[in-house]
Copies of this chain bind each other. A is one copy, B any other.
Amino acid sequence: MAFDFSLSPELEEQRQRTAQFVATEVIPLEQHVFRDGMTDDLRLTLQRKAKDAGIFAPQAPAELGGGGFRFDEAGVLLEEAGYSLLGPLALNCAAPDEGNIHLLHQTGSAEQQEKYLRPLVAGDVRSCFSMTEPPPGAGSDPSALRTVARRTDGGWVVNGDKWLITGADGAAFSIVMARNVGDDAPEGATMFLVDADNPGFVVGEHLDTIDATGIGGHCRVTITDCFVPDDHVLGEPGRGFQSAQVRLAPARLTHCMRWLGAARRAHDIALERAVGRELFGSRLADLGMAQALIAENEVDLDAARAVIRHASWQIAEGSRSSEESSRAKVFVSEAVCRVVDRAVQLAGGMGTSESLVLGRIYRDIRSFRIYDGATEVHKMSLARRAAARAATRLEAGGSAVDGPLPRTGGAS
């Protein structure tokens, strides 16, 4: 039994089908959407076409109408979807719905899955995930959560402010994260399924962010005396942070997969420009300075794919560790931003123009180094784990590191 990095014929076929769909159905709509914005009508049209093409929701459970692919295999398809900024939405594998589908599938009751998950997989509704709060609330440090949930008759009352809630405008429901307070509630946080028409849940302004292409904005959400009945608790009360982990590790990787596709697109566009343009009496692509940008992109894209594939395989195999996904998130988010930046640079004046897609990818990809755990936060976590392992090794009495000599000071 040796390593196997090959794509099965079925997966390769699905990959090509997805790429074809993105090229013929999605990309032609980009300029229109960049100018006028994405609408739910357009989203539904695209999703219908994706269903017809047999490529819809590759990562979602097959019994609910998704593709049912293993997590690592789905990564191949999400990369193709990400080749257009509109692709993931067209295939219903975009954030935040894709992560919510996973979370609902892992932790939702049968009734919750019927009511919320099924229409979400089908694309009949959109959803959002209300965790992030304005400072000093939950952000890179989820434990700073300030939204509170208090037990009441037959349910909970939730209060708090959220912001940067992606897709909130137009979402049919939100998964809301709140900290339990009061003696009659278990310690910890709880996740709630809150319908958009709940009067205690008000979606406010769209924040003006660097990125520009999603649907439903990055919104403020005000939660005021919001009653949520017991059967709308997602998972167990007090286990909200644990449930968040269920969502976070794979969600980080699906971001990596999609953005890898976008970065590859940026590189391809810049490369075509470099091949087609003359500069200083030479083809741009043949100038050494340009070659450096091109080759570094090729190397980064390849490494990012290898890292994603490895980390997603571990998750598919059942790993519960978040270390793999942290490492992958750090590497891939930094790498894809480098790739897009080099593509902009290579394309020059054209690279700075959004009408050529590059500028739009440049804007949209920036926050990926921040959300789902900023690079620096993952680094802190990775360093702590590495240090803990080293400490354990040292305490165990021996170090495989440098052998007996340096420690005894002997032979040297």
Contact = CB atoms under 8 A, between A and B. Distances in A.
Interface of A: 1-6, 8, 19, 23, 27-28, 30-32, 34-35, 70, 72-73, 132, 135-136, 139-141, 144, 163-164, 207-211, 265, 268-269, 271-280, 283, 285-296, 298-299, 302-303, 306-307, 309-310, 313-314, 316-317, 327, 330-331, 344-345, 348-357, 359, 362-363, 366-367, 369-371, 374-380, 382-384, 386-387, 390-391, 393-394, 399-406, 410-412
Given A348-B140, A382-B295, A3 B4 contact: yes
Contact of A294 (B2, B330, B382, B405): B382
A387 B294 contact: yes
A271 B198 CA distance: 39
B274 A387 contact: yes
Summarize A's interface: helix, strand, loop or mixed: helix
Given A139-B349, A272-B393, A289-B291, 8 more contacts: A28-B405, A30-B405, A164-B349, A210-B344, A210-B359, A265-B401, A291-B380, A345-B376
Contacts of A369: 345
B352 A275 contact: no
A302 B327 contact: yes
Contact of A298 (B141, B377, B382): B382
B291 A19 contact: no
B310 A306 contact: yes
8 contacts: A5-B314, A141-B279, A209-B353, A210-B363, A271-B387, A289-B292, A289-B380, A309-B310
A65 to B, nearest CB: 22
Contacts of A1: 4, 6, 8
A106 B59 CA distance: 44
B403 A3 contact: no
B2 A8 contact: yes
A157 to B, nearest CB: 26
Contact of A352 (B2, B366, B387, B394): B366
A359 to B, nearest CB: 4
Contacts of A268: 390, 400-401
> Of residues A274, A316, A387, which shows the largest number of chain B Cβ atoms within 10 Å of its Cβ?
A387
A56 to B, nearest CB: 21
A72 B355 contact: no
A93 to B, nearest CB: 19
Given A30-B403, A387-B274, A379 B295 contact: yes
A377 B140 CA distance: 25
A306 B356 CA distance: 33
A303 B294 contact: no
A359 B4 contact: no
A163 to B, nearest CB: 8
B291 A379 contact: yes
B348 A5 contact: no
Contact of A291 (B3, B298, B383): B383
Q: Which 8 A-B pairs have the closest CB atoms?
A: A288-B288, A27-B403, A291-B383, A295-B379, A289-B376, A4-B4, A306-B306, A285-B387
Contacts of A382: 294-295, 298-299
